[in-house]
Amino acid sequence: MKKYKAMFAALLAAACILTGCGGAQEEPQAPAETETVSFAQETTEEAAAAEEETAAVETDAAKAETAAEGSAGTEEETAAQGEEDADRADGAYAYHLETETRSWNDAAGQEACSVSLEYPVFEGDSAAETAINAFYQEWVSDKLDAWETGEDPFVTEALEIRESGADIEGMPPFSDEYSVTGVAMVQGVVSILQENYLFTGGAHGMPGRENHIFSGTDGKEVTLLDVLPLSEEEVNGLAREQFLARIEEHPEDGYFPEAADTVNAKTDFISQSYLTQDGVVFYAQPYELGPYAAGYIEVTLTWEQVGLPPSR
């Protein structure tokens, strides 16, 4: 009996050994940890790849933007150069203004009168610019000579009044001041308008204007009739019509009662004109068609109205 029990115990122990009964706990399976590590590594690699791809895309975008900016800059420079060339072709010259001043004193050393002459100075060396600059140098010289010699009595009269013993206490010195108020480069010419204000005592001075037109090619002085494809009679007729229409349509401007008669009797409108980008401006002096307060009364004939294409 004891023999059988021993044999049974041996068999049972062998079975337990074969089936793992009562053995140690299983260690975590290595493949599971490997998968996790592998997944993490793959994720890191994918992230790195994604970052590289993003960086590549951003680099390409930056390159494209830089190229676009460069192209745009080149186009702008080309357009600017084209406009500059077009301006040069149209005679759009650069200029600045300079002023010549002079004053004269009476025997007591008190200022009797002064003059101020503003004029344009063109900055290039083309034939036209050189000629226009020479014109204004001579213009200044002629003005000063006329005042110095008494050909223009402005200075002489100012000195005589100061030295005559007349009661001039509080009276300002005489003055004549010229300023450049318009420079138009149109229709192949350069039109320069100057205005002056002449004071010789009294409540106020008198304004005046003078305009000079120069060829944009050689700078020689030309006339309005040289610019327009119209006769003198046609130009005067068109200007007259414009003034009469204005007087009729705008009586609130305060014209003299005889203003229309003055316009109808006038035979020269051309001498009181200047050029702008819009056309030819004709003007009437203060007191010509209305009171001093009305100032210059102007009308404009557009370039189309005088038979020329619009100025760009």
Residue extent(s) of CATH 3.90.640.20 domains in the chain: 223-307
> 90-222: what fold?
Heat Shock Protein 90 (3.30.565)
Both tokens of residue 49? Answer: 């790849």
Burial (CB count <10 Å: 0-12, 13-18, 19+), residue 255: buried
Q: Are 219 and 129 in contact (CB under 8 A)?
A: yes
CA atoms within 13 A on the CB side of 218: 3
Instruction: Tell me what pLDDT residue 144 has.
Output: 97
Which CATH number, 3.40.50.720, 3.50.50.60, 3.90.640.20, 3.40.50.620, labels domain 223-307? 3.90.640.20
Residue extent(s) of CATH 3.30.565.40 domains in the chain: 90-222
Instruction: Tell me what pLDDT residue 24 has.
Output: 38
Dist. CA 18–CA 145, nearest whole Å: 138
Instruction: Tell me what pLDDT residue 42 has.
Output: 35
Query: 174-186 and 111-122 as β-strands: parallel, antiparallel, unpaired?
Result: parallel
Using a cut of 0.75, tell me whether the model's pTM lies above it: no
Residue 121's alpha-carbon distances to 85, 132, 203, 211, 284, in angstroms, are: 21, 8, 34, 16, 29
Show the DSSP H helices in 20-90 as ranges: 30-90
pLDDT-flagged residues of the chain (< 70): 1-91, 167, 312
Instruction: Tell me what pLDDT residue 81 has.
Output: 45
Instruction: Tell me what pLDDT residue 76 has.
Output: 55
Both tokens of residue 247? Answer: 């007087």
Q: What SS3 class is residue 104? A: strand
Dist. CA 289–CA 89, nearest whole Å: 41
Instruction: Tell me what pLDDT residue 255 has.
Output: 96
